[in-house]
């Protein structure tokens, strides 16, 4: 069976997913929708797909699945519409910036029995997957401490910051998901501190650009996250897991691995300077995983619940900064999440 795709949103990330869908022999890109006519036409033309409206895709018999790459504030509505339309759904993170809205959306997904996968692409990075595999193969014993360093090459424009939901919901959310994924146990408390060191305009906009987070689980496992909106040396993305029998770490990635030596020392090039070049392979593997889910009618992961929990952790971090205390995740999620969150893993 070939999975027939509709793509909603032909922007930067839409193009990445269009390429991934096309490269997959089990998938076909049938239609593209975008509010900007030209963006849709160009992208559809490149891959031999049609331009259609979102309505048309919703009603189409020749579409099995959609990839949602539209602006964040449309995600929850579109998920609900396409869940009801019986399409499998891949949605870029986040589902919504508001925890209650996400809960409501997931109830619809659940009621419809829809397939929903959320775009935490880092789970599909080959290096991080190898870290996970080392844990799963019991090469480091019981996981005890996860250490994540995640720094952007530079701060985004303040305009973006204002719409982003803030550093925890926009940037740290990837690290929250990765921490959960690697700890193998739900996070119980979040403690965070944050400040403005990079760009005062970010502070004026009510956000932070530098953050540290500590997470703990009920059994006493730890995770720490270090975030900055600035790293002159490139896109700094490191993960390290310390266990009872050993440790495993994923090193930073650079476009070429040469070393130049002279009187000043030995110099390797800077890291990738952009998330799209750093995570090229992750994006491709992510869509492959989604296609596999749809084809095999198996549960999608990362699931909507994974998206909800990551958002709740972001909320808890923000609360922790503001109140100067450790915040229980259950203060945010209430009774919902604890039931089925890990079922999709």
Give the footprint of a second copy on this chain (CB under 8 A).
126-127, 129-131, 134, 139-142, 144-145, 147, 149, 151, 189, 191, 193, 195-198, 210-212, 214, 216, 220-222, 224, 226, 228, 230-233, 242, 244-251, 253, 255-270, 324-326
The C-alpha atoms of residue 57 and residue 66 are separated, in whole angstroms, by 8
Minimum Å gap between C-beta 97 and a second copy is 25
Minimum Å gap between C-beta 215 and a second copy is 9
Minimum Å gap between C-beta 105 and a second copy is 32
Minimum Å gap between C-beta 221 and a second copy is 7
The C-alpha atoms of residue 21 and residue 16 are separated, in whole angstroms, by 9
The C-alpha atoms of residue 315 and residue 293 are separated, in whole angstroms, by 30
271 neighbors 149 (Cβ within 8 angstroms): no
The C-alpha atoms of residue 195 and residue 212 are separated, in whole angstroms, by 9
Minimum Å gap between C-beta 32 and a second copy is 18
Residue closer to a second copy, measured from CB, 271 or 294 = 271
Residue closer to a second copy, measured from CB, 24 or 70 = 24
Distance between terminal CA atoms of the chain? 25
Cβ neighbors of 38 (< 8 A, separation 6 or more) are none
Indicate the helix (H) or strand (E) that contains 154: none
Residue closer to a second copy, measured from CB, 260 or 299 = 260
212, two tokens: 């540290």
96, two tokens: 């919504």
Residue closer to a second copy, measured from CB, 111 or 249 = 249
Residue closer to a second copy, measured from CB, 244 or 296 = 244
């Amino acid at each position: 069976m070939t999975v027939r795709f509709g793509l909603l949103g032909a922007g930067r990330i839409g193009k990445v997913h269009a390429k991934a869908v096309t490269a997959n022999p089990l998938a076909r890109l049938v239609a593209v929708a975008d509010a900007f006519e030209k963006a849709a036409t160009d992208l559809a033309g490149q891959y031999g797909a049609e331009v259609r409206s979102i309505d048309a895709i919703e009603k189409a018999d020749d579409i099995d699945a959609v990839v949602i790459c539209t602006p964040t504030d449309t995600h929850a509505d579109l998920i609900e519409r396409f869940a009801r339309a019986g399409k499998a759904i891949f949605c870029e993170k986040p589902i919504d910036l508001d925890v209650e809205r996400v809960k409501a959306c997931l109830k619809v997904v659940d009621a419809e029995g829809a397939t929903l996968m959320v775009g935490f692409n880092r789970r599909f990075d080959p290096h991080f997957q190898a870290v996970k595999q080392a844990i799963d193969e019991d090469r480091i014993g019981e996981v005890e401490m996860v250490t994540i360093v995640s720094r952007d090459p530079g701060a985004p424009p303040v305009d973006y910051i204002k719409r982003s939901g803030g550093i925890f919901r926009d940037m740290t959310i990837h690290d929250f998901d990765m921490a959960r994924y690697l700890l193998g146990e739900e996070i119980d408390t979040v403690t965070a501190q944050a400040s403005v060191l990079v760009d005062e305009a970010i502070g004026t906009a009510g956000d932070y650009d530098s953050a540290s987070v500590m997470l703990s689980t009920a059994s006493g496992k730890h995770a720490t996250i270090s975030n900055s909106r600035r790293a002159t040396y490139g896109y700094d993305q490191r993960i390290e897991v310390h266990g009872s029998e050993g440790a495993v770490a994923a090193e930073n990635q650079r476009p070429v691995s040469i070393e130049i030596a002279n009187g000043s020392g030995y110099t390797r090039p800077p890291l990738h300077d952009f998330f799209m070049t750093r995570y090229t392979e992750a994006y491709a593997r992510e869509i492959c995983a989604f296609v596999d889910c749809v084809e095999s009618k198996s549960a999608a992961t990362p699931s909507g619940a994974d998206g909800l929990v990551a958002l709740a952790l972001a909320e808890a971090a923000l609360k922790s900064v503001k109140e100067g205390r450790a915040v229980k995740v259950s203060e945010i999620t209430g009774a919902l999440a604890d039931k089925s969150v890990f079922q999709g893993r």
